[in-house]
């Protein structure tokens, strides 16, 4: 699918090429040691400045948004320089934060909780939700060949892949809670959800059930569907997605100002993707991720559409319930989730454009 030529970028606004995941933390950490001067200190109670000084840089790990901004041309609206890092997922993002190699990350709702529980001070500055989340889950429960699980009540006695510090682990606990099951009613098999580990664990019989992100569902079914591998819906909400940052990012007035603009343009990018699903599927999932066109289209359809909520009240309430569940089931200290949200950035939702504005951004 073609789109209109993008406008020429203003002079001096080069975007640095995304770094590969291998060695990205070390590379960015070394780059950060080159003497980049911090901006004036900004108190947590002070308003975020509107003006972004020339030369301000944000180091961002969010490949999906990077693609959306480049495909739409919205990256030209960023009045600062970006160092894009090919980093995604909670563990890699937290590692980069701790190495002072990243200013902004994009994750589900669990990583900010675990960052806090493990001693890294972070704040959430933007959030998005899925429209009709139960109809368009972020994860499906993969069921190994030969295992009889047709609904979540059938999980009793099954071996379930479980990653305590990731969104997939929290999803398992939520599914069990919704099904009226306790951890003792199943066998939780701890393993990190990286790459296709869960797919291979299902195929080898190491586990009976595993939460699979939508990108992993087609390859799992292609590889094991003929042998009886299936998936079922989790039946619980799993769609919250956030931009979060180390607190140090917000204490730098220049970066805080740049972040304010980024959250606004990010909201526009969320709207643009929803209005251009075919173009995004081709430009990101096919050309960058290597999916077959039909799989890319199916994935975008499965994920549904997103919205940036006008207020975070409901998000905070739901996030608190998740934190309380993890504290109870995993032995963490109680956590006041509201303290993780920097509500100075909440008005960014108002920047999400109408269809006419979004079309203009792509022209």
Tens-digit pLDDT profile for residues 255-306:
999 999 999 999 999 999 999 999 999 999 999 999 899 989 999 999 999 9
User: In which band, very low, low, confident or very high, does the pLDDT at 22 lie, cut at 50, 70 and 90?
Assistant: very low
The whole-model pTM stands at: 0.83
Higher pLDDT, 347 or 52: 52
Superfamily of segment(s) 16-130+239-361: Periplasmic binding protein-like II (3.40.190.10)
- DSSP-based three-state secondary structure for 334: coil
Q: Tell me which CATH code domain 139-232 carries.
A: 3.40.190.10
Q: Can you tell me the distance from the alpha carbon of 223 to that of 228, in angstroms, rounded to the nearest whole number?
A: 10
User: In which band, very low, low, confident or very high, does the pLDDT at 194 lie, cut at 50, 70 and 90?
Assistant: confident
Q: Determine the pLDDT at residue 161.
A: 97
Residue 6 scores a pLDDT above 70: no
Q: Can you tell me the distance from the alpha carbon of 55 to that of 76, in angstroms, rounded to the nearest whole number?
A: 15
DSSP one-letter string for 122-174 = EEEEEEEEESSTTTS-SEEEEE-TT---SSGGGGTT-EEEE-TTSHHHHHHHH
Measured in whole angstroms, the distance separating CA 108 from the mean position of its chain's CA atoms is 5
Tens-digit pLDDT profile for residues 309-321:
999 999 999 999 9
For the chain, where do the domains classified as CATH 3.40.190.10 start and end?
16-130+239-361, 139-232
The token duo for 40 is 């004036």
């Amino acid at each position: 699918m073609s789109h209109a030529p993008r406008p020429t970028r203003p002079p001096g606004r080069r975007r640095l090429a995304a770094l590969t995941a291998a060695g990205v933390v070390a590379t960015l950490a070394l780059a950060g040691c080159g003497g980049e001067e911090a901006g004036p200190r900004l108190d947590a109670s002070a308003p975020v400045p509107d003006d972004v000084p020339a030369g301000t840089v944000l180091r961002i790990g969010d490949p999906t948004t990077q693609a959306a901004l480049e495909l739409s041309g919205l990256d030209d609206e960023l009045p600062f320089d970006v160092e894009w890092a090919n980093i995604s997922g909670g563990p890699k993002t937290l590692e980069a934060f701790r190495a002072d190699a990243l200013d902004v990350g994009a994750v589900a709702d669990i990583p900010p909780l675990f960052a806090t529980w493990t001693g890294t001070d972070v704040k959430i500055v933007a959030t998005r939700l899925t429209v009709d989340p139960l109809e368009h889950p972020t994860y499906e429960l993969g069921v190994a060949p030969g295992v009889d699980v047709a609904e979540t009540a059938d999980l009793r006695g099954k071996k379930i892949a479980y990653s305590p510090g990731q969104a997939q682990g929290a999803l398992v606990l939520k599914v069990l809670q919704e099904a009226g099951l306790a951890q003792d009613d199943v066998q939780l098999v701890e393993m990190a959800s990286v790459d296709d580990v869960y797919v291979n664990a299902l195929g080898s019989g190491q586990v009976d059930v595993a939460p699979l992100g939508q990108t992993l569902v087609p390859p799992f079914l292609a590889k094991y569907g003929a042998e009886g591998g299936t998936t079922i819906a989790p039946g619980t909400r799993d769609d919250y997605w956030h931009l979060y940052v180390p607190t140090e990012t917000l204490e730098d007035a220049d970066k805080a100002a740049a972040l304010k603009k980024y959250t606004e343009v990010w909201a526009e990018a969320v709207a643009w993707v929803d209005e251009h699903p075919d173009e995004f599927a081709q430009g990101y999932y096919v050309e960058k991720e290597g999916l077959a066109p039909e799989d890319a289209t199916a994935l975008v359809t499965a994920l549904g559409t997103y919205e940036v909520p006008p207020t975070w009240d409901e998000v905070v309430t739901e996030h608190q319930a998740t934190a309380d569940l993890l504290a109870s089931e995993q032995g963490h200290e109680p956590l006041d989730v509201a303290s993780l949200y920097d509500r100075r950035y909440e008005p960014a939702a108002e920047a999400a454009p109408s269809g006419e504005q979004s079309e203009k951004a792509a022209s």
